[in-house]
């Protein structure tokens, strides 16, 4: 059991009413709660009031309660008998464009009760934000997108509650983080302004919203805390990620990168935070090559090339026969090819370094990653020069973004004491390989820390920690969003980064030593 | 049209979005509202968000909006196009045990649009608080009482809206004041604790409640501001009355009395407020005598006795043939009888002073107020000695309460610069008569000011004035509720007050001069 004295729940022993102390039931409860929380005042959800008089008397004025701090205003959402074994439960939701992850938490102990994930059913409308936003503009489209996610959440919440040994009515608090568009669709708000210049969301800071008003049937007074977005391209998932990393609490400068189609980057410390986002290209997620795919069984996630023999050792997820390659596997592959001399510093395949694997076609050179005899489908897994070019453009974009943001603030990479890599994809990247290809700066490997699903992690932290809302507000207010201008300077940096690892080899001394 | 620059509505001209100013729609609106209101922050009702993006663009970023300050937290409840002729409407509700009065107000101009009243349908369950509270304890009883008042309100709001030329959807704000029990039934909360020692309400300060959550169908995001009660016997109607009187803003000491079955009294100034409530007896409301009745056509509300001839001149409401007498008529009658020597200083009927009107019965003396030939029903309207005794007990209780509260604070009656008489009944009392019988202190008549329905007046003021909620909070926090102990001192005072006007004639010099 976790120490949860800083959580959202309280157990109170109220002074009993008398002619001398004839405060109202609610006032009695709320003033005790305010005292325990060191809050000026605590509000009460109206639905709690109906049964309160009977409950307080039946429970002899001892009561467990759940209070939430909605950006400075405390609100009591639910009460329970101190004898009841029913928990106050909370649900963390990482609302991804593709995948939605749920984590059920006991709000009193902080304990994780269950975790589950499901595909965002809006995929049926369109795989990405843009298609869904266009669909939302059509007659009834927004309502449909909203209903799809709400219904899927309700069904999956029912299942996760059952798995956690609870009823959906036990869920009193939801912390939800997602990108700006997904958050909007969840709230039933149009993402129309988000995708069009000048890129205007409907709302940045929704705060605590009644679950019922959104169509979610949980505890009758359950609230959904939606992480704020700083703008159209910097969503609540990133704020949750910062919260989870603790970057905003450190004396030292840290950087957080969420790698994906969009690279979202935060640089800062306790005193300041700068963020930017830019297209790094779908190449980093394994989405563009013929054999590229998201991480799944049989997908290559790790590659070693024996420097002596030039033989390939590929590792697949769950050790299934190889059928494709994911982003982290691709980064590994490119790094190893480069170290083995099979890719030159411009990222071109070098036939003579591996004549049995590299062959010419009408569209240029191709590399056999896995031959037909060893692949899952009985056909060789191959990558063309264009595939490598696209990966290199993506890694160059990423590095350029990192250079731009540090340059803007005037700090060097070596000033960064901690470099967090967020996102499911990020957790599979091996820093050594990413450094080798010049995607991330040449810092000691221990500087890099993978956060895994930091959006879910931040949402979970919000459920566990009473101070987290104030931290979210502080992050939200402190952050300066830097609009990336693709100007001449950016293009110069980008061009220099389109080499392996970089035109300036001095930027990557550890790579220089290795080759 | 009233000056309404201090009202709850705003007209805003928002800066248009651009790449340089790409704040979210809601943030753009709310920060302009916060600036106009000099508020730190303004929240937004979630239901307003859905249409906001389309509306802002259609209205070219000019917008009228309604904001409400719920005890320090500002909330934007509704928006309208600046071109629209539809008003933001507010509804003031005086929720009486017997009668409910509605007043429709244009929130933008402060203008009154319509007024109406209806009998509280809970009368069918029981005429008074006690019977309804007992019924609320029975199975389904509370729900029935709640439903009765909500349905009656909804129906009457529909009618008043129509009379005011509006739709119920135009009503965005309701200000409701009532006694503690009526407020509880309106909120669907049990009044069970209110009527039993130690007299505990469920809640004192409900604040702004969603109309929809109470079952009222008005504007989708309409809120109901429920005036707080200081305790079981000092309801929101009194707080509204104080607000209406302005007593809490004056440098000078004022007193406010709401006369009824319960006499509720407030004494104070800008710096302090003391309140108490005590049973003055139903006699003051005309409820106990055989011929007593509430004010209605044909009811005697004024009596003059010709000092020379001893003849009675009675005035009836709407000049209809007399059929009964109300409280203010009774106070007049007793004062006139006393001045004419027909009642002695102990309140006994003096036969020899009016032998043609006063006669003996087995139950004591009786007075013919109107003879059979002149009454509506063809029977003489008469009052017995017991009727006079009951009125005198009531007036003595009232005076004793006034003496006790001033004595507690240590001020004399002559320190009181303004004496407000609240309540429908209070507005009919002639101070001269009430002074003559020793019910209220012998102060210059111009000290007395009738407020009429001060509960409705206070609710209306809340709809019109942006600062009113802060004033309500200040009143609520400043007020000291004095529990009336019916101790020996109280009984001594009460005994002394059971004379006409008082055992201490020196307390009523103006009466002494008149007799």
**What is the pLDDT at residue B281?**
63
Average pLDDT over residues A59-76: 96
Q: Is pLDDT above 60 for A257?
A: yes
**What is the pLDDT at residue A428?**
80
> Greatest CA span in chain A, whole angstroms?
97
Output DSSP code: residue B505: G
d(CA B392, CA B502): 11
Q: Is pLDDT above 70 for B261?
A: no
Cα separation values, B373 from B293, B301, B365, B378, B384, Å: 21, 19, 21, 6, 20
**Please, which pLDDT band fits residue A1 given cuts at 50, 70 and 90?**
very low
| Interchain pair A49, B17: CB under 8 A | no
Contacts with B24 from chain A: Cβ below 8 Å: 200-204, 229, 231
H/E segment holding residue A385: helix A385-409
- What distance in Å separates residue B207's CA from the closest CA in chain A? 9
Which of these, B97, B45, B502, lies nearest to B294 by C-alpha position? B97
Residues 202-221 of A with CB under 8 A from B: 202-207, 209-210, 213
| Interchain pair B25, A200: CB under 8 A | yes
Contacts with A188 from chain B: Cβ below 8 Å: 50
Average pLDDT over residues B119-140: 95
Task: Using DSSP, state whether A469 is helix, strand or coil.
Answer: helix
H/E segment holding residue A329: helix A327-339
| Interchain pair A22, B204: CB under 8 A | no
**What is the pLDDT at residue B293?**
79
**What is the pLDDT at residue A513?**
87
Q: Is pLDDT above 70 for B442?
A: yes
Of B19, B190, B483, the CB nearest to A198: B19
Average pLDDT over residues B384-393: 92
Any idea which of A343-357, A403-417, B423-437 has the lowest mean pLDDT? B423-437
Of A17, A44, A187, the CB nearest to B198: A17
Which of these, A302, A358, A357, lies nearest to A326 by C-alpha position? A302
Contacts with B181 from chain A: Cβ below 8 Å: none
Which of these, B4, B400, B5, B461, lies nearest to B248 by C-alpha position? B461
Average pLDDT over residues B421-447: 89
Does the CB of A353 have a partner CB in chain B at under 8 Å? Answer: no
**Please, which pLDDT band fits residue A77 given cuts at 50, 70 and 90?**
very high
Cα separation values, A321 from A380, A428, B69, Å: 12, 19, 65
Instruction: Count chain A–chain B contacts defined by CB atoms under 8 A.
Output: 111
Residues 31-60 of B with CB under 8 A from A: 43-44, 46-47, 49-50, 52-54
- Asked if residues B104 and B160 have their Cβ atoms less than 8 Å apart, the reply is yes
Does the CB of B497 have a partner CB in chain A at under 8 Å? Answer: no
| Interchain pair B23, A204: CB under 8 A | yes
Average pLDDT over residues B66-88: 95
B500 phi-psi bin (left φ>0, alpha ψ -120 to 50, beta other): beta
Alpha carbon A459 to its chain centroid, in Å, reads 10
Of residues A210 and B515, more confidence is placed in A210
| Interchain pair A23, B206: CB under 8 A | no
Average pLDDT over residues B411-434: 89
Average pLDDT over residues A241-261: 92
| Interchain pair A22, B232: CB under 8 A | yes
Q: Is pLDDT above 50 for B1?
A: no
| Interchain pair A24, B203: CB under 8 A | yes
Q: What is the pLDDT of residues B154-176, one digit of tens each?
A: 999 999 999 999 999 999 999 99
**What is the pLDDT at residue A424?**
65
Report ipTM (2 d.p.). Answer: 0.89
Average pLDDT taken over every residue of chain A: 93
Average pLDDT taken over every residue of chain B: 93
- What distance in Å separates residue A188's CA from the closest CA in chain B? 7
Cα separation values, B210 from B5, B48, B52, B155, B239, Å: 25, 14, 20, 18, 21
| Interchain pair B200, A73: CB under 8 A | no
Does the CB of A158 have a partner CB in chain B at under 8 Å? Answer: no
**Please, which pLDDT band fits residue B487 given cuts at 50, 70 and 90?**
confident
**What is the pLDDT at residue A2?**
42
How many CB atoms neighbour CB A62 within 10 A? 13
d(CA B140, CA B145): 9
**What is the pLDDT at residue A206?**
94
Instruction: Give the rounded percent of residues in chain B with a pLDDT score beyond 70.
Output: 97
**What is the pLDDT at residue B2?**
42
* CA torsion, ordered A129, A134, A135, A137, to nearest 10 deg: 130
Any idea which of A93-102, A256-265, B38-47, B387-396 has the lowest mean pLDDT? A256-265
Alpha carbon B411 to its chain centroid, in Å, reads 26
Pair of tokens at residue B231: 């305790």
pTM: 0.90
Find the DSSP H helices in B108-248: 129-136, 141-163, 180-187, 236-245
Nearest CA in chain A to B142: A50
**Please, which pLDDT band fits residue B3 given cuts at 50, 70 and 90?**
very low
**What is the pLDDT at residue A3?**
45
| Interchain pair B53, A24: CB under 8 A | no
Q: What is the pLDDT of residues A176-214, one digit of tens each?
A: 999 999 999 999 999 999 999 999 999 999 999 999 999
Of A26, A190, A232, the CB nearest to B203: A26
């Amino acid at each position: 059991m976790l120490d949860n004295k800083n959580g959202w729940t309280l157990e109170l022993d109220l002074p009993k009413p008398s002619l001398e102390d004839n405060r109202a039931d609610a006032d009695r409860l709320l003033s005790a709660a305010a005292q325990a929380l060191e809050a000026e005042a605590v509000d009460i959800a109206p639905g709690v009031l109906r049964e309160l008089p009977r409950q307080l008397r039946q429970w002899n004025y001892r009561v467990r309660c759940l209070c939430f701090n909605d950006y400075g205003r405390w609100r009591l959402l639910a009460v329970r008998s101190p004898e009841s074994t029913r928990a106050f439960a909370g649900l963390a939701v990482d609302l991804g464009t593709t995948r939605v992850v749920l984590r059920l938490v006991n709000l009193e102990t902080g304990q994780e009760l269950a975790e589950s994930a499901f595909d965002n059913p809006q995929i049926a409308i369109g795989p990405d934000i843009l298609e869904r936003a266009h669909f939302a503009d059509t007659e009834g489209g927004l309502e449909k997108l909203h209903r799809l996610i709400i219904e899927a959440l309700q069904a999956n919440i029912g299942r996760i509650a059952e798995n956690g040994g609870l009823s959906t009515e036990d869920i009193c608090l939801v912390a939800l983080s997602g990108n700006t568009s997904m958050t909007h669709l969840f709230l039933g708000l149009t993402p129309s302004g988000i995708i069009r210049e000048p890129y205007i969301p409907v709302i940045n800071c929704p705060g605590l919203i009644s679950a019922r008003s959104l169509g979610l049937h949980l505890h009758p007074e359950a609230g959904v805390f939606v992480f704020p977005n700083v703008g159209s391209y910097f969503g609540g998932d990133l704020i949750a990620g910062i919260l989870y990393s603790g970057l905003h609490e450190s004396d030292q400068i840290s950087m957080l990168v969420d790698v994906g189609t969009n690279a979202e980057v935060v640089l800062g410390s306790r005193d300041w935070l700068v963020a930017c986002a830019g297209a790094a290209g779908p190449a980093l997620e394994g989405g563009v090559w013929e054999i590229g795919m998201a991480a799944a069984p049989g997908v290559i996630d790790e590659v070693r090339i024996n420097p002596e023999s030039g033989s390939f050792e590929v590792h697949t997820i769950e050790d299934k026969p190889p059928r494709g390659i994911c982003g982290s596997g691709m980064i590994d592959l490119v790094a190893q090819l480069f170290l083995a001399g099979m890719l030159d510093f411009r990222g071109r395949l070098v036939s003579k370094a591996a004549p049995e694997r590299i062959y010419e076609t009408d569209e240029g050179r191709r590399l056999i990653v896995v031959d037909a005899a060893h692949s899952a489908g009985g056909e060789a897994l191959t990558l063309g020069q264009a595939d490598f070019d696209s990966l290199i453009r993506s890694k160059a974009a990423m590095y350029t973004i990192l250079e731009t943001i540090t340059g803007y603030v005037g700090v060097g990479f070596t000033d960064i004491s901690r470099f967090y890599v967020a996102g499911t994809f990020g957790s599979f990247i091996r820093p050594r390989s990413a450094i080798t290809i010049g995607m991330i700066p040449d810092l000691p490997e221990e500087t890099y820390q993978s956060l895994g699903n930091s959006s879910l992690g931040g949402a979970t932290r919000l459920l566990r920690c009473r101070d987290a809302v104030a931290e979210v507000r502080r992050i939200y207010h402190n952050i300066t969003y830097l609009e990336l201008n693709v100007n001449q300077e950016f293009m110069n940096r980008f061009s220099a980064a389109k080499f392996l690892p970089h035109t300036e080899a001095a930027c990557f001394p550890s790579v220089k030593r290795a080759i």
